[in-house]
Amino acid sequence: AGGALVLGVAAPLAVLVGGMLLVGVGTGIHKTVSIRLLSREYPTRTGRALGLFDTLGAFGGVAAPAAVVLVTDAGNWHALFLAGAVEGFALGGGVLAYVPRRSSDAEDDGENGDSAGGDDSANPLAFRRYLDLFRSRRFTVFVGVTVCFSFAYNGVVAFLPLYLTDHGLSESAASLVYSALFAVSLVQVVTGDLSDRIGRLPLAVAVLAVAAGALGALSLAGTASAVVFGGIVVALGIGSHGFRPIRGAYLAATIPDDVAGGGLGLVRTLLMGVGALAPAVVGVVSDTTGFAAAFGLLAVVMSCAALLAVLTALIGT
């Protein structure tokens, strides 16, 4: 909210860059804290809670471009950031006023675990406690699952509109097909709820396999109709969005309470770094060998995510 407030006023470039950094820091921290909070508030329904949380976030992302176009057409883009700042401060106040009362019992339940690690947090070597998480083979392999997924998903999202127009669709048809990728984000509520009922790893394998198959179909589709591409993209969206609440719920259940915040933050830092690298890699491959090879690479990476999910389950048994 503070970053949006800075962006909402006329200021020099250096100040605007500072506002952008504040927005980035705030959004990055928000997701990490939210996963931990929801998992502690709803320990038996973590998947469902995260599914609803991610679905609302996805639809907010879909609505944001339309809001930007509406406000910029009116000639006052500062107003959009000022409105976002007001909304952010209002939501922050709501969290401070409401969430502590709702979460008091959960906080009490985790008090002992938090206090056990509280003295170590001031130790310069405390970061090693987070690195010690990777001594668990199961945790390390699942982080590999999330890294592969993040690379493949961010790579395809960055280039899917260009890929569709390059393969014969008009810009309007490509935009419609691309929007289907986000329209199916409602599946997160379903997969999150199912993960609470039937288990997280088996469902993770299933949705990742669907996403890998859809990416493989994209790489082999060539020139096809909008209906064909739409079906493939819907399958990709179901597999990709379906994995998100499962990932969050599994990590929240796996990481010990005394290092939960830092552990989730470390994993998300890895995911964001890999996700930022993916478009560059896909761009280089597509320029040198074409989109078929680039999307084929993403299909292989997504398949590796599914196979690593299988390995995670096998390590557990």
The domain ranges of the chain are 2-115+125-316
Provide the pLDDT confidence category of residue 108 given band limits of 50, 70 and 90.
very low
Of 9-23, 52-66, 161-175, 199-213, least confident by mean pLDDT is: 52-66
**Better pLDDT: 29 or 161:** 161
**Where is average pLDDT lowest: 15-29, 107-121, 175-189, 297-311?**
107-121
Q: Supply the pLDDT for residue 130.
A: 74
- Phi, psi at 124, each rounded to 5°: -60, -25
The answer to whether the beta carbons of residues 204 and 246 sit under 8 Å apart is: yes
- When pLDDT is averaged across residues 250-268 and rounded to a whole number, the result is 82
| Predicted structure pTM score | 0.78
pLDDT digits (tens, 9 = 90+) for 32-85: 677 777 777 777 777 777 877 777 777 666 666 666 666 666 566 677 777 777
* 2-115+125-316 CATH pick, 3.40.190.10, 1.20.1250.20, 1.10.3720.10, 3.30.1490.20: 1.20.1250.20
CA-to-CA distance for 83 and 4, rounded, in angstroms?
8
- Distance between CA atoms of residues 273 and 295, nearest Å: 20
pLDDT at residue 54, rounded to an integer? 73
Name residue, tokens 């394998």.
205
Percent of the chain having pLDDT more than 70? 80
What pLDDT, on the 0 to 100 scale, is given for residue 33?
73
Cα distances (Å, whole numbers) of residue 249 to 27, 96, 155, 224: 19, 24, 24, 37
pLDDT at 62: 62
